[in-house]
């Protein structure tokens, strides 16, 4: 479909034509049914009138020629009546000429005949019939009277057809004549209804490339409103994407400046070193610097991907206990190196599933364990618990590290916020990412001190899916 306007005009016209033709055809059909008996009735009336008129044989014979003469004068006599409408008079003449008759006496001799009756005396069937005389088809009605006289009434077939079809032919012509103005009318009203779409498209066309404000739906027809709403929602997502990308670029530029400057210093120092041992020390530092820069980029990317406005439509059913076990296994070697005991509760709800984003949930667990290991002293314990409550799952990571002072437990969720005096390196993005992921899964996160000791207890609650099947569908 190249043009809605053309499509609508063409199809509406086809529809109108189809409907009117159907009406004409049905009219034609029902017209035949009602007009034919009327025409036949006229023939019967005429036959019986003639019979009544020519009762007496002697009278009939005597007056037959008079009848002939009078009938022959019908058309001229009619002209003497006042008629304004010439077309009507013409039609009347044509009709008068139509019904013809012949009267035969009991010996078969022609007594009377209308002037244009068929010349050949072909035997007509009794009652109604059809006969062809000199290639002209006639509808006939033959009456045999008590005096054994035969009265035959003739009605030309083409006239009957003309009467039956005339009205319909005119209707068809009128309909055909109305098509062009109807098409024009349709074209105008459809064009008017499409004006608002044209306005909306012009508005989009004239926009600056960075103008992602919503298009106004004020004068838009209701049928088009959902389309504009979708475009607006797309604009909204694009706007968030632009913001996210530009924030990522600004953050990356800012956060990578320091490690790159440090790397450059290490490289310069390495260049001035003489012994292989000194150079190796510098290269180790460069290596650590590269790792840190890598980590910063990773965290920034994760942050960007888990922002609340990201429409994470890759939601699936995630087996929570498997995610927890997998991340613990990945951190076990690091913990082991520092003699930190990593443990997981016994009665793990193995069937725990939540409707979410598996990579994001791994990232969440990863950051919590990374913090717990990084900020805990050697030879301590970290205990992870996963429990199922009535309508939520509870994940806890408890360590024996320094904990976070009560006053800072909200602030550590801010981007780039790090507790002053923290010895370990980091970007200050981990807990912000965790917070975003928890929000994405409509959960909650709290930080607490550990009863009877130092350490941090991180508690994440994630809602259990209400109806798993509905979500999967
Ligand atoms: N388990 C913990 N024990 C003590 N302090 C913590 C713990 N977890 C986080 N913190 C404090 O909160 C701050 C913010 O943590 P966050 O995870 O957001 O950033 P980071 O660990 O510094 O950097 P990143 O996680 O990006 O490597 C940390 O710098 C640290 O001071
Ligand atoms: Mg961290």
Domain extents in the chain: 4-180, 221-305, 313-472
**Cβ of residue 412 lying under 6 Å from some atom of ligand 1:** yes
- Ligand 1 nearest-atom number relative to CA 376: 3
Closest CA to 71 of 89, 108, 46, 104: 46
Nearest CA to ligand 1 atom 1: 372
Read off the pLDDT of residues 34-59 as tens digits, 9 standing for 90 and up. Answer: 788 888 888 888 888 888 877 766 66
For tokens 């919503």, the residue is: 214
Check if the beta carbon of residue 271 is closer than 8 Å to that of residue 400: no
Distance of CA 94 to the CA centre of its chain: 61
The DSSP bridge partners found for residue 381 are 341
- Return the CATH number of the domain spanning residue range 221-305: 1.10.287
**Cβ of residue 429 lying under 6 Å from some atom of ligand 1:** yes
**CA–CA separation, 118 and 135 (whole Å):** 11
Mutation to probe ligand 1, out of 431, 438, 460 (largest number of atoms < 8 A from CB): 431
**Cβ of residue 402 lying under 6 Å from some atom of ligand 1:** yes
Residues 6+ apart with CB under 8 A from 50: 101, 103, 112, 151
**Cβ of residue 430 lying under 6 Å from some atom of ligand 1:** yes
For tokens 């074209």, the residue is: 187
Q: How many angstroms separate the alpha carbon of residue 461 from the centre of ligand 2?
A: 19
**Cβ of residue 426 lying under 6 Å from some atom of ligand 1:** yes
- Ligand 1 nearest-atom number relative to CA 425: 22
Strand 341-344, strand 381-388: pairing: parallel
Q: How confident is the model at residue 277 (pLDDT cuts 50, 70, 90)?
A: very high
Read off the pLDDT of residues 347-385 as tens digits, 9 standing for 90 and up. Answer: 889 889 998 888 889 999 999 999 999 999 999 999 999
Crossing angle (nearest 10°) for helices 157-193 and 4-53: 160
Read off the pLDDT of residues 188-234 as tens digits, 9 standing for 90 and up. Answer: 998 888 888 888 888 888 888 888 888 888 878 888 889 889 999 99
Q: How many angstroms separate the alpha carbon of residue 256 from the centre of ligand 1?
A: 19
**Cβ of residue 367 lying under 6 Å from some atom of ligand 1:** yes
Measured in Å, how far apart are the chain's first and last C-alpha atoms? 33
Q: How many angstroms separate the alpha carbon of residue 368 from the centre of ligand 2?
A: 7
What number is the average pLDDT over the span 430-444? 93
Check if the beta carbon of residue 199 is closer than 8 Å to that of residue 220: no
Strand 392-398, strand 456-463: pairing: antiparallel
Q: How confident is the model at residue 165 (pLDDT cuts 50, 70, 90)?
A: confident
- Return the CATH number of the domain spanning residue range 313-472: 3.30.565.10
- Structure tokens belonging to residue 27: 């009219």
The DSSP bridge partners found for residue 123 are none
Q: How confident is the model at residue 471 (pLDDT cuts 50, 70, 90)?
A: very low
**Cβ of residue 401 lying under 6 Å from some atom of ligand 1:** yes
What number is the average pLDDT over the span 251-271? 87
What number is the average pLDDT over the span 431-453? 92
Q: How many angstroms separate the alpha carbon of residue 448 from the centre of ligand 1?
A: 14
């Amino acid at each position: 479909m190249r043009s809605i306007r053309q499509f609508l005009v063409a199809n509406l016209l086809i529809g109108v034509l189809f409907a009117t033709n159907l009406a004409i055809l049905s009219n034609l059909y029902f017209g035949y049914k009602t007009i034919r008996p009327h025409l036949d009735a006229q023939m019967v009336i005429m036959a019986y009138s003639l019979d009544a008129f020519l009762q007496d044989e002697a009278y009939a014979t005597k007056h037959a020629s008079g009848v002939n003469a009078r009938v022959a004068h019908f058309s001229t006599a009619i002209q003497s009546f006042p008629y304004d409408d010439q077309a009507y008079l013409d039609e009347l003449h044509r009709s008068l000429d139509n019904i013809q008759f012949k009267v035969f006496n009991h010996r078969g001799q022609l007594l009377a005949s209308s002037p244009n009756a068929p010349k050949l005396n072909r035997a007509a069937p009794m009652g109604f019939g059809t006969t062809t005389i000199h290639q002209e088809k006639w509808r006939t009605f033959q009456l045999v009277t008590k005096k054994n006289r035969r009265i035959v009434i003739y009605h030309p077939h083409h006239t009957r057809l003309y009467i039956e079809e005339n009205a319909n032919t005119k209707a068809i012509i009128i309909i055909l004549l109305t098509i062009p103005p109807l098409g024009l009318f349709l074209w105008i009203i459809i064009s008017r209804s499409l004006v608002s779409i044209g306005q909306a498209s012009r508005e989009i066309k004239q926009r600056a490339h960075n103008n992602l404000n919503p298009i106004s739906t004020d004068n838009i027809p209701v049928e088009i409103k959902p389309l504009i709403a979708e475009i607006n929602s797309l604009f909204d997502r694009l706007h968030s994407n632009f913001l996210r990308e530009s924030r990522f670029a600004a953050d990356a530029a800012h956060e990578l400046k320091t490690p790159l400057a440090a790397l450059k210093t290490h490289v310069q120092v390495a260049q001035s070193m003489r012994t292989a041992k000194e150079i190796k020390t510098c290269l180790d530092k460069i290596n650590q610097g590269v790792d840190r820069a890598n980590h910063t980029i990773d965290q920034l990317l994760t942050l960007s991907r888990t922002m609340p406005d990201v429409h994470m439509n890759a939601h699936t059913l995630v087996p929570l206990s498997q995610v927890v076990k997998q991340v613990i296994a990945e951190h076990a070697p690091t913990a082991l190196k520092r003699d930190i005991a990593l443990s997981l509760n016994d009665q793990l709800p193995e069937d725990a599933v939540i409707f979410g984003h598996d990579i994001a949930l791994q990232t969440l667990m990863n950051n919590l364990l990374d913090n717990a290991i990084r900020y805990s002293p050697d030879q301590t314990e970290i205990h992870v618990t996963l429990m199922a409550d009535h309508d939520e799952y509870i994940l806890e990571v408890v360590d024996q590290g320094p904990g976070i002072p009560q006053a800072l437990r909200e602030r550590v969720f801010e981007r780039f916020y790090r507790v002053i005096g923290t010895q370990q390196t980091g970007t200050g993005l981990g807990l912000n990412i965790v917070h975003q992921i928890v929000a994405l899964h409509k959960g909650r996160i709290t930080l607490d001190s550990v009863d009877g000791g130092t350490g941090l207890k991180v508690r994440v609650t994630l809602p259990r899916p209400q109806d798993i099947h509905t979500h999967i569908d």
